Structure 1
Amino acid sequence: MAAPAGDAFYIPPKVLPAGDPGDILWSRKVPAAGKLKDANFTVYQVLYLSTDTHDQPVAVSGTIVFPPAGSRADMPLLGFATGTHGLGDDCAPSKSLAAGADDWADILELAASHGWAVAATDYEGLGTPGPHTYAVGRAEGHAVLDAARAALRLREGGLSRNAKVGFWGYSQGGGAASWAGELAPGYAPDLNTVGIAAGGVPADLLKVSAGVDGATWAAVEFMAALGFDAAYSELKLDSFVLPAARASLDQLRTACVKQAVLSFAGKHARDVFTTDPLKSTTWQKRLAENSLGSTPPKVPIFLYHGEKDDVVAFGQAESLERTYCAGGADVTWMPIAGANHDAASYLEAEPVAFLADRFAGNPLASTC
């Protein structure tokens, strides 16, 4: 099916065609921009089938990048999960990557410069119709895994269906990459997954929310509330919202991350809600379902986190490492002394080396 032009690209058919997760509805080659143009990479946008939290089909958009050299038949694939962009459709990573203005473009450029193809999802509802299910781990994990499947199925791509696949992400993306690792054996056993690198991971959402309440990055607490409300109709977030806060929360639904952080900096749950929904048993059940650790990855995972993280609490990430180790996972754990959330996001050499070793089949020295 031919890809529609412009933003119509992101609008799937009203009735999704039958197909499997990862099947491509349509794709288009787009001009490489910014760092991707400078390196002469080839870039495609794709609209592909994925699965929501209720195991129902949903269309998700994303970006696939190929380096200019190397045999694609032997090329590994990196599924990259971007960090927080916001909740509005205009915030979709594929749009800012196409404009040469995405904050995570350097990671895609770095990965492709190592001879890897890269698949970067927009996540459910970011760019495509419907609200973005922000912070809902199962939805994000599905989107990441199915972006990798789409890259392998892209006719123009030429990748082997048995290509080695690794996942990498930071912050929201660190959670999504970790979820991809937990879900892959059951949801995507067809992928030849060999390793995961995940930084700044929001593993326990209750603890992460408690840590940012009233802080500079308080916006992510309210974005997560909107994301969960989008995924689970029984949560009824609107019933908790103070009348005076309704307009600002509605604006958050279409805001990109920088605007969101500025608008909600310093706000507490009590400033927005009549009672904190996160203290509701209904909300806590859904949050628990989307907290990491219950199914340790079957492939090696590199976890890194700033010890002074001011957005995603360090302690809950350290607990995830211990849980994974206790569950038999091969974990390489790297706490970064003195680093806050922003500083740790710039760690690149170690995740790249870890993934390169996994693609090469080199031995692993677990820190468990």
Structure 2
Amino acid sequence: MPRPISRRASRLTAVLALALAACTLSAHTAGGEPGHAPSTRAAAALPPDDFYLPPSTLPDGKPGDVIRSRKIDPGTPTPRALADTWQVMYRSTDALGRPHAVTATVMVPKGGTPASRPIVGWGPGTQGPAFRCTPSRMIAKGALYEQWVINAMLKAGYAVAIPDYEGYRPGPKTTYMVGKSLGPALIDAVRAAQRLPAAGLLADAPVAFRGYSQGGGAALWAGEFQPDYAPELKLKGIVAGGVPGSLMEVALPLNGRPGSGFLFYALIGLDNAYPELKFADVLNDAGRAMVADLETGGCALEMINKYGNKPLSTYVTRSPLVDAPWVARYTENTLGGTPKIKVPVFQYHATQDALVEPNQADALHKQYCAQGVPLTWKTYDTTGRPPVADHLWPIQAANAEAMTYLADRFAGRSPAPNCS
């Protein structure tokens, strides 16, 4: 059983339940202490920024090579005090295997020797399709809702690389929930951190991947890709919570419920990744307006407030969900299909998660166990918590165990898998 939640944390969970959904993260503010959820007004205030415009011709290089970088000061005092911070643009690989540019944030703890730092690739949770929602822009503004998790890792002495994932730029075309894009973006953010001269990190530094919800999926996708895509990384372990391993099994229960806006976003993301899907061909006038609205200004709050509890049928002339091209891409972006993870994994999930279906996560952990992955599985009882709160609680409840798991992997201690 999880430890009892405090009155203050309970009140905070209620606040977040109104503000975030589907693949969002924690019950802490960007500054690292319990408090209120960040306001979208901070996101709206961000000015245009040409740093995020990819070059018209991608420079020669390999995945993880830095294209450009700049040092920044995060928007809240705690991360400013803890770390030196850079934004980077780097080469990566999209879902079709083509080179492209992605942006990220690299944070290195102040003091000590950077060359001694382990590196954690942190996969951020759902931010939203609009450019103003870009994770690195939220860090710069002090509005990233999972900053508290990053702060904890910085305090532990780890450098942290946080990708924005594909498509965050002016005129965004994000590929939300497309694992074939998420995995390389996270891996290459770590490579970019290692290749950024100012950061002082080592190419052979020990590495871990960590994330929750969308970010948990990114961490496991990175783990599946790593042996072939980045065999040089000294990967020691993975921590992944609230994982949407099967897109179909996660998406269908969201339709017409509080997380339905995240279903719509996932369809937009798949369509951006795979041009043959032609989502526009089945959109009605309301659907075209919805897509334009989300890509222009939609962050997590808008996805709940404006598009929660609405069925897909409101926006389409017919559902594309069972069309063969869509099914092929869902299947291709289902975790566990290729047994490639070679390192210990800590996977956890809420027992009553109304937003990321728990049975598919349980099936994924059993599939990994059958493949021989040294996996530790844990569930957190969220019986009686309302939707969104039932999804958010485990990231807070599991943080101490997640931090211990990372410390043990970096120290070379053997894990204690509980596969039966």
TM over 0.5: yes
Count how many residue pairs are aligned between Structure 1 and Structure 2. Answer: 364
Cα drift, residue 35 of structure 1: 4.8
Letter in structure 2 aligned against 1:366: P
Verify the 8 A CA contact 1:69 1:115 in the aligned structure 2: no
Give the Cα separation in 2 of the matches to 1:89 and 1:6: 9
The residue number in structure 2 matching 1:305 is: 349
The answer as to whether partners of 1:39 and 1:109 remain within 8 angstroms in 2 is no
Deviations 1:166-212 (A, max 9, x none): 01001111111110001111111111111110011000000100121
2:329 to 273, 283, 286: 286
What residue number does 1:344 align with? 394
Question: Which residue of structure 1 lines up, in the alignment, with residue 176 of structure 2?
Answer: 134
Greater length-normalized contact order (CA 8 Å, ≥ 6 residues apart) = 2
Structure 1 runs (4+) greater than 6 angstroms displaced: none
**Distance (whole Å) between structure 2 residues aligned to residue 356 and residue 114 of structure 1:** 8
- Judge which range, 20-29 or 243-252, deviates more: 243-252
1:152 counterpart letter in structure 2: Q
Per the alignment, residue 178 of structure 1 pairs with 220
> Structure 1 stretch 275-284 or stretch 17-26: which is displaced more?
275-284
Paired residue type of 2:163: T
Q: 1:161 aligns with which of 203, 216, 223?
A: 203
1:9 has 2:51 as partner: yes
Alpha-carbon displacement from aligned partner over 1:301-320 (angstroms, at most 9, x marks no partner): 11010011111000000000
**Residue 256, structure 1, aligned to residue 299, structure 2:** yes
Q: TM-score under structure 1 normalisation?
A: 0.96
Matched, 1:322 2:357: no
Deviation (angstroms), 1:6: 6.8
1:359 to 410, 413, 417: 410
| Equivalent residue number for residue 48 of structure 1 | 90
State yes or no: 1:206 paired with 2:256.
no
The residue correspondences of 1:269-284 to structure 2 (distance < 5 A) are 269-284=312-327
Deviations 1:213-241 (A, max 9, x none): 11101111110000000011110101111
**Aligned partners of 1:91 and 1:127 also within 8 Å:** no
Give the Cα–Cα distance (whole angstroms) in 2 for the partners of residues 210 and 244 of structure 1: 20
For structure 2, the residue ranges without an aligned partner over 5 or more in a row are 1-46, 384-389
Distance 2:172 2:392 in 1: 30
Output the CA distance in 2 between the equivalents of 1:19 and 1:94: 23
284-293 or 273-282: bigger deviation: 273-282
Q: 3-state SS of the aligned residue for 1:278?
A: coil
1:331/1:284 Cα in 2 relative to 1: closer, same or farther (>3 Å)? same
CA 1:364/1:40 → structure 2, altered by over 3 Å: closer, same or farther?
closer
Q: For residue 279 of structure 1, give the secondary structure of its aligned residue in structure 2.
A: coil
Structure 1: 5+ residue stretches without partners: none
Relative to structure 1, is the Cα distance of residues 6 and 65 closer, same or farther in structure 2, using a 3 angstrom cutoff?
farther
**CA-atom RMSD in angstroms:** 1.4
Q: Measure the CA separation in 2 of the matches of 1:233 and 1:127.
A: 19
CA–CA separation in structure 1 for the residues paired with 2:402 and 2:319: 37
- Equivalent of 1:147 in 183, 186, 189: 189
Secondary structure class of the residue paired with 2:346 = strand
Deviation at 1:273, TM superposition (A): 1.8
Identity of aligned residues (%): 41
Would you say the 8 A contact 1:332–1:367 is kept in 2? yes
TM-score, normalised on structure 2? 0.84
